[in-house]
Amino acid sequence: MTSGMKIRHDPVFASSVLFTIALLFPALDFLRDAAYKDALLQAVGFASLANILVGLVVVWTGFTRRYRWAWLVMFIIVSVWAFPVLVLPILHGKIDVTFVEWLAEAWRWPGSARIYGENIVLVSIMVVALLLPLKSFFWKP
């Protein structure tokens, strides 16, 4: 008789954990922005912290209970806040290096290349977290 721990294979729970990691990772940077003296950067910091807090509350209250409105709120947070704030500035700049050169710079030295890489990974995790539980939210038996 074995008494092993049961692991739930629940895509909604896995998605909630991914959202939590992706939302909490940049929170310290936005907290620093909120404490900055520049009014615009301060506003972006406070707005981002508010979005992170709303996202965490929605994920651990409505999302885990499989409410469709919670999936929609997370879709809005990813598409209206995370993508424009974290990834869109990258797409507006002129890229003078190849992907391999950019990756090598991001790996070796801290700076804008590493920040942009982290932001792309965070938004990608959020997109996976949105797509992972689609069947649980919209195709219930």
Q: Is residue 116 part of a domain?
A: yes
Q: What confidence tens digit (pLDDT) does each residue in 57-95 have?
A: 999 999 889 899 999 999 999 999 888 888 887 777 666
CA contacts within 13 A on the Cβ side of 89: 10
Q: How many domains does the chain have?
A: 1
DSSP codes joined into one string, 62-81: IITTT-HHHHHHHHHIIIII
CB 79 within 8 A of CB 51: no
Q: Does the pLDDT at position 23 exceed 90?
A: yes
Q: Is residue 137 part of a domain?
A: no
Percentage of the chain exceeding pLDDT 70? 86
Q: Is residue 78 part of a domain?
A: yes
Q: Is residue 138 part of a domain?
A: no
pTM, entire model:
0.79
Q: Which domain holds residue 64?
A: 11-132
Helix axes of 112-131 and 68-76: crossing angle, nearest 10 degrees: 160
Q: Does the pLDDT at position 122 exceed 70?
A: yes
CA distances from 131 to 71, 128, 136 (A): 10, 5, 10
- pLDDT (mean) for 103-132: 83
Question: Would you state the pLDDT for residue 88?
Answer: 80
